[in-house]
Amino acid sequence: MREQLKSKLDKMQMEVIRDCQNVEDVQLMLGIFSQMNEALNQIPDTMNKPKGAKRGRKPKNAEANS
């Protein structure tokens, strides 16, 4: 979950920075996004999906079918 949120936040940051009109706005936005990234790092590991997690049905047991 953390990685998914981080990638969305990075995309949003680039869009917002592009729309800024001056250096002060860019610095302000970078500070805000820095705080949001720190908050993302606070997400407990238990909320993250284990790597290699599969979706959908489990394959049928080959031994049971023989």
16 within some domain: yes
**pLDDT for 50:** 60
**pLDDT for 45:** 75
* pTM for this model (two decimals): 0.63
- Give the residue numbers spanning the domain of 37: 1-43
34 within some domain: yes
Q: Residue 65 and residue 16: Cα distance in Å, rounded?
A: 56
Each as own residue / partner, the long-range contacts of residues 34-38 (CB below 8 Å, 24 or more positions apart, any chain) are 36/9, 37/6, 37/9
**pLDDT for 54:** 63
32 within some domain: yes
64 within some domain: no
29 within some domain: yes
**pLDDT for 17:** 94
48 within some domain: no
- Total count of domains within the chain: 1
| Contact call for residues 34 and 6 (beta carbons, < 8 A) | no
28 within some domain: yes
Closest CA to 13 of 2, 26, 1, 4: 26
Low-confidence residues of the chain: pLDDT under 50 = none
**pLDDT for 49:** 62
